[in-house]
Each structure stands twice: as structure tokens, then as C-alpha cells.
Amino acid sequence: MAWKTLDDMALDGKTVLCRVDINVPMEAGRVTDATRVEKIVPTVFDILAKGGRPVLLAHFDRPKGKVVPEMSLRHVQPALEAALGRAVIFMERPDRASIDALPQDAVILVENTRFSPMEETNDPVMARFLAGLGDVFCNDAFSAAHRAHASTEGVAHLLPNCAGRLMAAELKALEAALGSPARPVVAVVGGAKVSTKLELLGNLVAKVDYLVIGGGMANTFLVAQGVEVGKSLAERDMAPTAREILDKAKAAGCRIILPIDVVVARAFAANAPHETVPATACPADAMILDAGPATIAVIVDAFLASKTLIWNGPLGAFELTPFDRATVGVARTAAQLTRDGHLISVAGGGDTVAALNQAGVAEDFTFISTAGGAFLEWMEGKELPGVAALRA
């Protein structure tokens, strides 16, 4: 592993700047999903166990360099205290003397780093200021690692650095899935648009053995092959690009799996009247909302033939019953194969996690990434600034 972890660092008596992601959803001033807060607990406890004093750096929402009271991390403090089972000291304007005056086992939460315009521009002045608050930098925010910000990248060059427990687990899982995976590898890529995942598809066809394309983007590939898709969501102007990806996959020996049968409806609504037809026979007045049972069987066969699965994006309109059937069915098969030790399964992205939770199988996957953009950029083969800085 090219980066250090907490196990490699001497922390006794040290102040540890720890970049975390606690950018959680809120309603009426209360955290509605504390998953991200709970995920950082092992890192905080390990810093304390090694005699370190954790100073947590984080952003919350998008204040765009201005102080926005409703985006203060004060609102997250109660959820953080509940997760840790102890008091957390909030610092609106941190300074080293105030931090040093606190007990060594204090946990400190610094105000939203994005309240300063210097954060997102990765201003060296802010990086130096942050570095002055601690002795060691620990990055536990993989989900923000694709951003070269002062608190994710700049400060890492100024202090001895390491990956936190969540960051290390994420990097290990992604390396196992794409870096040196157990083969064959199958990737599932879904979602609405080909245009948003061009680099991802281009990178994957050279790295995986099977590529399952679902959701609205599958319709674009069907159009590229001369198939009429009625009123379905499709980027017809992307057809030439889709054909290029198909050609690239063929040259690389990657088998692309597209729907061979589809579930169609006349309305985009839950429980809308629907029917299953061959992918080549979508009625002109209907739209494709899910993959059919024959397609599910082909995907399952690919899973059975594979050792590693990478998943980003649903196979259909999973938020509407019964058009979640393909996503849920395939997810449950992947979960069973993972439980049986047949498959290493790694998934990431907001819609993907929501779909796996809906299927009741999120706990059964080998690893589920908390990251959205960072997970995608890793899959695209890009180097993430926050990760690269840890190697420095």
C-alpha cells in the first residue's frame, strides 16, 4: 500500500487534524441519516487510543466561501456526540493555543471549512493555517478526495500524513476491485445518461470481462444499434459515441450485456400498466422502464462466471414499483454470491446505495462506498488529489 495508515503513526501527545466527511442530510435542524457520521467513529476512537487529540475538519453543504448559519457544523455536533458517546468541543475560530489548552483526550470539531473562500481554491495560506493547528494530518474523507481543496490536499503536503480507517478501507476495496482484481470481472453501470459516464465506460471496457449497461443509457446503446425505443429516455445524439464504445469493447475482449427484453409502460408512474416485450419491439407510444426476466437471467449468468463485481447505477426506474424488479433481483443474486464466498462485490454512488438498501442487501456486499463523485472518478481511472497527496 502506497500510503500510511494510523498504524504507522506515532500519535501520543500529538494533535491530529482529521479530515472527515459528515456532510449529512438534515431536516428541520436534525440529521435524518447519520451514516457518514457513524462511519468516522473507528478513526476517532483509534486516534484517542493512540494518545492523539483529534481535531475534525469537514465541510457541510455548499456555502460557496461565505458564512451561512444554516450550514454551520454546529447542527451536526449533536449527531456526532451521539455517535461517539461523548462531548465534542465546537470551535468556530480555531487557534493552536486554544487547542493545546484542552485535555489531550478532547475531541474538537472545527467550523465548516467551506465558509472560507480559500478552501475550494486550495489557497496555500489556508493550508498553512490548518497545518498550524496540528502535528499530523489524517484523511478519512475519501468522498471528498477528488477535490483538491486546502483541507483535503493542501494541508497533506505540510504535515506527516496518513489515511484514516474509512479511507484505508475504501482504497483497499477499490484496489481489489479495479487495481488487481480476481478475474473474471463484471461491472454494472446504470443511470440515465451515457454522456455523464463516457469516461467511465471507456475505462471499464479495457479493464473488465463483462460490462452490463442498464437504465436510460442502455436505451442509447439500443438506438446506436438501430433499435427503436419509442418514448424512452435516450440520448440519440450520443449514438456514434455508443458505437465507438461497443467497438472498443469488442477489441478489448469485453462482452457488453444490453437488455434483450424490456418492461414498458405508457406512464412514468408507480404501478403503471406495463408489459414485457423483446428489446427490439418497444411500442412507439411506450417507454422502457426496466430490464426483463430474460435480461436478468443473462446478467445472473455473468455474475456466476465472475469473481469480482463493481456496481454503479440502477438497471431501471428502481424508485417506482414494479420497475425495480431487475435492480432488486440482480442485487439479491450478487448478495447471495458474496455471502457464499463466490464474489467480491463493490458498489458506490448515491442511487446505487439507495437501490441496494431498497433490496435489503447493502450489508451483504463486500464493500459499499460512501462516495459519489470520488467513486466514479476512481472507476474512470483518474488519480484523486486527496489520495495522491497521501503518497507525497
Averaged pLDDT of the chain:
95
Section 40-48 average pLDDT = 98
Helices 325-339 & 293-304 angle (0-180, nearest 10): 20
What DSSP assignment string belongs to 81-112?
HHHHTS--EEESS--HHHHHTS-TT--EEE--
Residues with a catalytic annotation lie at 36, 193, 350, 373
Same domain (yes/no): 130, 201 = no
Short-list 274, 245, 243, CA closest to 261: 274
Calpha distance 85→74 (Å, rounded): 17
Predicted confidence (pLDDT) at residue 53 exceeds the cutoff of 90: yes
For residue 388, being part of any structural domain is answered with no
Tens-place pLDDT, residues 334-358: 999 999 999 999 998 878 888 898 8
Same domain (yes/no): 36, 128 = yes
pLDDT at 391: 80
Section 285-295 average pLDDT = 98
- What SS3 state is found at 263? strand
Same domain (yes/no): 205, 154 = no
Number of structural domains the chain divides into: 2
Predicted confidence (pLDDT) at residue 1 exceeds the cutoff of 70: no
Tens-place pLDDT, residues 81-99: 999 999 999 999 999 999 9
Same domain (yes/no): 141, 226 = no
pLDDT at 331: 97
Same domain (yes/no): 224, 342 = yes
Note down the domain range covering 370.
Answer: 181-379
CATH number, residue 14 = 3.40.50.1260
More confident site: 194 or 153: 153
Confidence tier at 13 by pLDDT (50, 70, 90): very high
For residue 385, being part of any structural domain is answered with no
Short-list 102, 175, 108, 125, CA closest to 379: 175
Same domain (yes/no): 325, 260 = yes
Same domain (yes/no): 185, 158 = no
Same domain (yes/no): 97, 61 = yes
Same domain (yes/no): 128, 215 = no
List, in sequence order, the alpha helices (H) in 22-160.
Answer: 35-39, 41-49, 77-84, 96-100, 117-120, 124-131
Confidence tier at 383 by pLDDT (50, 70, 90): confident
Task: Indicate the residue among 140, 166, 192 that finishes a domain.
Answer: 166
Predicted confidence (pLDDT) at residue 179 exceeds the cutoff of 60: yes
Same domain (yes/no): 47, 160 = yes
Calpha distance 39→369 (Å, rounded): 11
Task: Indicate the residue among 110, 143, 166 that finishes a domain.
Answer: 166
Residue with cell string 496540528: 134
pLDDT at 392: 54
Confidence tier at 369 by pLDDT (50, 70, 90): confident
Structural Rg of the chain based on CA atoms: 23
Calpha distance 263→289 (Å, rounded): 6
Is residue 17 within 8 A of residue 138, CB to CB? The reply is: yes
Same domain (yes/no): 283, 327 = yes
Q: Given the DSSP bridges, would you call strands 53-57 and 89-91 parallel, antiparallel or unpaired?
A: unpaired
Same domain (yes/no): 86, 19 = yes
Confidence tier at 29 by pLDDT (50, 70, 90): confident
Calpha distance 291→298 (Å, rounded): 11
Calpha distance 386→296 (Å, rounded): 38
More confident site: 134 or 362: 134
Task: Indicate the residue among 166, 201, 234 that finishes a domain.
Answer: 166
Calpha distance 181→188 (Å, rounded): 15
N-term to C-term CA, the chain? 13
Predicted confidence (pLDDT) at residue 213 exceeds the cutoff of 60: yes
For residue 175, being part of any structural domain is answered with no
Confidence tier at 3 by pLDDT (50, 70, 90): confident
Looking at residue 382, its amino acid is K
For residue 285, being part of any structural domain is answered with yes
pLDDT at 192: 86
What pTM was estimated for this model as a whole? 0.85
